[in-house]
Amino acid sequence: MESLQVKNKKQESKEIFENSLKSNDTEEKIDIYFYRPIGLRIAIFCQKVGLTPNAVTIISIFFGVAAGILFYYPSLSINVVGMLLLMFANSLDSADGQLARLTNNKSRFGRILDGFAGDFWFASIHIAICLRAMNEGWSPIIWVLGVLAGVSHTFQSAMADYYRNVHLFFIKGTNGSELDNSKDLQEEYDKLTWREHAWTKFVSKGYLGYTKMQERFSPKLQKLLAVIRSDFKGGLPPKLIHDFRKMNKPLMKYTNIVQFNTRVIFLFLWLIIDYAWIYFFFDLFILNPILIYMCNRQEKVSAYFYTHINDYKNPDGQ
């Protein structure tokens, strides 16, 4: 009897964990086996004490910025503390999404705030590395590298996040993804007034521009999504879901590479050997080519399905 209870408890825990994830297709191994389990425990604790997902996100900003500040110091022991703080910030970042899914407390503002959190972390990290490099004898040119790397990071994260949501849209539908489009956002933005909704309109304007940028980088994908929204309002055919997932899933590993884990592993390595400035070159000359390949690959997948979309409208050839 006891073993059965233990078995049922394990099964229940497994189901809770799986429900807290977006999708196995889009999750990295290090997230599934490290950050997500920690994030789930934090999410459950936050649920018990009444913290909202947005509150968890805001807390993560403080830890992430503090981590960046500690990377300024050329002391390995201090840097290690910064590494641990950054890892905890990312665990909190995982927890806010898991908490939102567990409590069904998802919102667009929460998604926007979540995106800004990472920007704050890495702005702090870039500034700290620039100041550190100046102390080590670098000329002000390091600030140019830092800014260019920061801009690159913004584009990399934006497109990786967008492609993940596109993948989730195809395999899970609207409720399982966070895919927005500029047309709907523009209509919502136009309904807001500066007098009554100044803050909401300000945030919405920034997010609208962010979404338009994502769409400009993916013109063939936009053509495919327009057809999907027009011709498959009742849901996508199972064969289209299956075929898109099969062809698009390999792209997910590239979206993961340009996101948090890979860049942070290399950042930690360069901090350990006291060459933190190499991180900027990694961002510019390693991750940017991956971004370009990722965008080209997604466009080829989109062009294929756009060309063959009629096969899914009339699967029996009728």
pLDDT, residue 54, reads 93
pLDDT, residue 317, reads 46
Copy the structure tokens of residue 242.
Answer: 């299956």
CATH fit for domain 1-138, picks 1.20.120.1760, 3.40.50.261, 2.60.40.10, 3.30.390.10: 1.20.120.1760
Q: Dump pLDDT digits (tens) for 44-93.
A: 999 999 999 999 999 999 999 999 999 999 999 999 999 999 999 999 99
Q: From CA 47, how far away is CA 55, in angstroms rounded? A: 11
Copy the structure tokens of residue 2.
Answer: 């006891």
pLDDT, residue 172, reads 87
Model pTM above 0.85: yes
- Could you tell me the residue ranges of all domains in the chain? 1-138, 139-318
Q: How many CB atoms lie within 10 A of CB 2?
A: 6
Give the CA distances from residue 56 to residues 102, 104, 201, in Å, rounded to whole numbers and listed in that order: 14, 15, 23
Taking 70 as the pLDDT cut, the residues of the chain under it are 1-13, 15, 19-21, 176, 315-318
Q: From CA 142, how far away is CA 133, in angstroms rounded? A: 7
Phi first, then psi, for residue 237 (nearest 5°) are -65, 140
Q: Dump pLDDT digits (tens) for 2-14.
A: 566 655 566 666 7
Transcribe 73-133 into DSSP letters.
SS-HHHHHHHHHHHHHHHHHHHHHHHHHHHHT---HHHHHHHHHHHHHHHHHHHHHHHHHH
